[in-house]
């Protein structure tokens, strides 16, 4: 039997003697005059190596965090949420680019002035829908059944003539609003497109790539998508 633990001698691993200089009295048991002694069993591991101090709490937390990060890195992220965000935000950006293209051309001066005669109006407020006939100045062309935007509530009666502008005979919408309201249409729409571009860069993970070069290219591609959609609608609205 092993005298310290009471276990069979063959079941207890052998401890390695430690050479100690300047050993104080009472610490361990000397075995020979060469300074070799056996440390107490409470101060060594099963293989005889001394028990070191416990790592600080902060170091243990950092080691545990590193192990969790390594476990997470083994499994690649799910691409479905990013793909869904890309498709949804691209569609929203396309809608706002479509409704902002013609007002932007009117704001920069690409417009044909004329007169629109109200045919009928339905709804009220934001849900108001009016249609009429637009006659360009100098009677260069006449557009029938166009949508009329910006009709005041007190001038929506059928047969009312209002000054309006269109981007061209194929524009499809005559804009009767003027002043800041005319600029608000394209400004809010382009801000929404910019927000969709930022959302695509965020939710597709382009801003979280580790490499700086790869992150820049990914963010540039995420921003270029809504930009190209807007340019396409601007060309179509010309």
Please give the structure tokens belonging to residue 145.
């059944």
- What is the percent of the chain with per-residue pLDDT over 70, rounded to a whole number? 67
CA 80, 83, 85, 88 torsion: positive or negative? negative
pLDDT band at 228 (very low <50, low <70, confident <90, very high): very high
Residue of 81, 92, 105, 89 lying closest to 172 (CA atoms): 105
Q: State CA 100 to chain mean position distance.
A: 23
Pick the more confident residue, 103 or 180: 103
Please give the structure tokens belonging to residue 98.
């479509």
Model pLDDT, residue 214: 87
Q: What is the pLDDT of residues 41-53, one digit of tens each?
A: 667 666 666 666 6
Residue of 181, 207, 237, 230 lying closest to 82 (CA atoms): 207
pLDDT band at 25 (very low <50, low <70, confident <90, very high): very low
**Lowest mean per-residue pLDDT among 19-23, 32-36, 93-97, 125-129:** 19-23
Q: What is the mean pLDDT of the chain?
A: 78
Model pLDDT, residue 70: 56
Model pLDDT, residue 28: 46
State the Cα–Cα distance between residues 102 and 147, nearest whole angstrom.
13
Phi, psi of 41 (to 5 degrees): -65, -25
State the Cα–Cα distance between residues 173 and 107, nearest whole angstrom.
15
Query: What is the DSSP annotation of 221-233?
Result: HHHHHHHHHHHHH
Q: What is the pLDDT of residues 70-118, one digit of tens each?
A: 555 445 566 788 889 899 999 999 999 998 888 888 888 888 889 999 9
Q: What is the pLDDT of residues 128-167, one digit of tens each?
A: 889 999 998 887 889 888 998 888 878 888 888 999 988 8
Rounded average pLDDT over 178-202: 86
């Amino acid at each position: 039997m092993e005298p310290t633990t009471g276990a069979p001698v063959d079941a207890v691993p052998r401890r390695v003697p430690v050479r100690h200089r300047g050993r104080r009295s009472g610490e361990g048991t000397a075995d020979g005059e060469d300074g070799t002694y056996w440390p107490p069993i409470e101060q060594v591991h099963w293989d005889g190596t001394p028990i070191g101090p416990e790592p600080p709490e902060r170091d243990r937390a950092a080691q545990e965090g590193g192990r969790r990060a390594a476990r997470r890195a083994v499994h690649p992220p799910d691409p479905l949420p990013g793909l869904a965000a890309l498709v949804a935000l691209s569609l929203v950006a396309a809608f706002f680019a479509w409704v902002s293209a013609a007002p932007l051309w009117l704001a920069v001066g690409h417009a044909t002035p004329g007169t629109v005669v109200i045919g009928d109006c339905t709804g009220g407020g934001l849900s108001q829908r009016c249609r009429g006939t637009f006659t360009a100045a100098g009677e260069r062309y006449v557009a029938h059944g166009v949508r009329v935007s910006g009709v005041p509530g007190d001038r929506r009666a059928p047969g009312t003539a209002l000054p309006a502008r269109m981007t061209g005979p194929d524009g499809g919408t005559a804009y009767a609003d003027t002043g800041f309201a005319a600029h608000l249409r394209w400004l809010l729409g382009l801000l929404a497109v910019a927000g969709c571009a930022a959302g695509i860069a965020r939710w597709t993970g382009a801003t979280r790539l580790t490499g700086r070069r790869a992150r820049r290219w990914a963010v540039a591609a995420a921003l270029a998508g809504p930009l190209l959609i807007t340019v396409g609608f601007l060309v179509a609205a010309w």
